[in-house]
Chain A
């Protein structure tokens, strides 16, 4: 099923997606927001540039975007897969609680903030390039991986990564000596055992966008974890 998005507003476009069968191609997408919000059983290919909040509350659907995407991709995503063959804007994967989000290129500010996890439901975000400031702010669970491909001299993340982090893991491909982490984060080089956890996602990234997973794993990864899952515990006195 092919939908020509030209001239359609987001409400009409989403109605057409809901009416369609399992496999959908959207052509001529030009900034329509909220594509596939809350959807579960469909596979969507987007040609053109989708607008903000692509795949918000996504509940199992699979979305592939052939180019860049804008802000708030996968906002509060629950299940499913989002693949972006380009860069994404700010606040991607906000409060994501399941599913996988792969970005070939760079991510803007606040990627993966407040991601969370519960038992075996662990969201994963893989950023092929570099991430902007505030990566993984308030992170409460899940896995964020930044590969730094074609990063050249750029640091893997901007300023203030993982501020307020109290759960989950961030893997940055490199030794990250040029990045300043907040005090409540422990940063160390990941062991082979720890890297085992992300190897399948690296493989999936390479399968989607090309590259050799073994080559990628040759560079050491920095693993960031919070010191405490109760960062506010000592601050109060009962009154």
Chain B
């Protein structure tokens, strides 16, 4: 110890008057914080192992537990914050790259919170969702540029393949391996019931979930895990993963310890072997190369499925999106820098990429300016936290939103940000069978359906308030948005006026 000691971040506070030593906390904690002292017949804890996942707090039958942030801190310093100093200690102790989970927790600007939504007053009166039909359905895919007729003057009705969503939200990519079988089961069943899509992530599709194919986006990443004909055929759409908001420019890496049993089988790699998705696709060095992958997937699936291309929001995102729109892809998915991850180098997660709000506005504007907006649908993600964020995203120009962290929260995630440990006490980011069974897919899927139903209702309320009865009429309708507390430049990029204007 000595110089290597780092004081624990959390304290476990046990109300001894309430604790009945039932040892539930001990059984529930995969981090082995709690244990029973037989000599004194009391529960004790080793707070150095606590990650503040709140599992013990939630299951303690007498509410005897709480976890608090330790007040044993280093001397206050606005430049050298406690976390910054401790990160230095960790690296000096180990020589390792700092590895974190979930989205960027740093106090960076959240533009959603600086945007306000309009409502109708007096003229153009608001609509009342319970008594007026409100359409939240969206179709994703390339739209025809013009109306065409055949030799007999009949309309040509063939259009490129489309995805139908009952509301403009999808569950974004989380691989089987990074999250559990029961988490995937919950997402797949909920997506099917709601009439939206979930996304396999890059770890292949478990054989049990092929039956949810109509509500599945299958992903093709640089490691191509689990990718073959049946997999491509199974999904409603195919997503090429070029990048991820939490770690732009970085590939994926699932440690061999998590490649066990069905995860190994689904990815088609041996147990215990690391699953490495290189940072680039080594056959893609240009838009032309991307076009080749897009069309190889279209050929393999006979042009029946829309092809999505997912990229991280980075500095030149508008130009990149324009290239993707010209690559033959049907849908572009952009992931902002606050997006979550099962594991990413801390420094990359916290310092690379740009906010999705700015990326979305810039891309939508660029595609409109170039007259190719209808060639491609636009899906955005990277911390969409509520129905209000969804409405703002649609008004900024998105066709639909991807959510993942919000979906995991619905499944029980308490955002302790230690997914990389594989010891998720909520049964989500783990492959330990004892932990996985804590997440009941019946309950999990129900909670996801609840969340989406609530959001859909709220979206309708927003739309009604604006006097809009179809989500399509909200898309790119930036007049419905106003900014507060932003600079001229920020407003210019977002393409919205300041509140009061």
Contact = CB atoms under 8 A, between A and B. Distances in A.
A81 to B, nearest CB: 16
Given A94-B283, A118-B268, A236-B96, A38 B299 contact: yes
Given A116-B268, A140-B269, A166 B276 contact: yes
Contacts of B25: none
A141 interface: yes
A3 to B, nearest CB: 16
A38 B301 contact: yes
A233 B229 contact: no
A38 B229 contact: yes
A224 to B, nearest CB: 17
Contacts of B495: none
Interface stretch (A52-60, A152-160, A178-186): A52-60
A76 B204 CA distance: 13
B278 A57 contact: no
B282 A34 contact: no
A114 B303 contact: no
Contacts of A10: 295, 299
A188 interface: no
A62 interface: no
Interface in A1-17: 10-11, 14
Contact of A11 (B223, B278, B303, B418): B303
A14 B300 CA distance: 9
Interface string A94-119: 11010000000000001001101111
A115 to B, nearest CB: 10
Contacts of A237: 90-91, 93-99
Given A11-B299, A56-B296, A229 B272 contact: yes
B292 A239 contact: no
A91 B228 contact: no
Interface in B43-97: 87, 90-91, 93-97
Nearest to A121: B268
Contact of B229 (A14, A57, A231): A57
B421 interface: yes
B195 interface: no
Contacts of A76: 224, 227-228
A229 B296 contact: no
B344 to A, nearest CB: 10
Interface residues of A, number: 51
Contact of A235 (B96, B100, B223, B282): B96
B274 interface: yes
Contacts of A52: 292
Contact of B274 (A110, A229, A238): A229
B308 to A, nearest CB: 17
A38 B300 contact: yes
B346 interface: yes
A186 B97 CA distance: 26
A166 B273 contact: yes
Contacts of A97: 224, 228, 268
Contacts of B227: 57, 76, 95
A179 to B, nearest CB: 20
Nearest to A119: B270
Given A11-B299, A38-B301, A76-B224, A236 B269 contact: no
A226 to B, nearest CB: 10
A233 B255 contact: yes
A236 to B, nearest CB: 4
B276 A138 contact: yes
A75 B421 contact: no
Given A53-B296, A57-B227, A231-B274, A113 B282 contact: yes
B270 A141 contact: yes
Given A78-B228, A229-B256, A239-B99, 19 more contacts: A18-B302, A34-B295, A57-B232, A72-B283, A75-B296, A76-B224, A113-B282, A118-B268, A119-B270, A138-B276, A229-B273, A229-B274, A230-B256, A233-B256, A235-B96, A235-B97, A237-B91, A237-B95, A239-B346
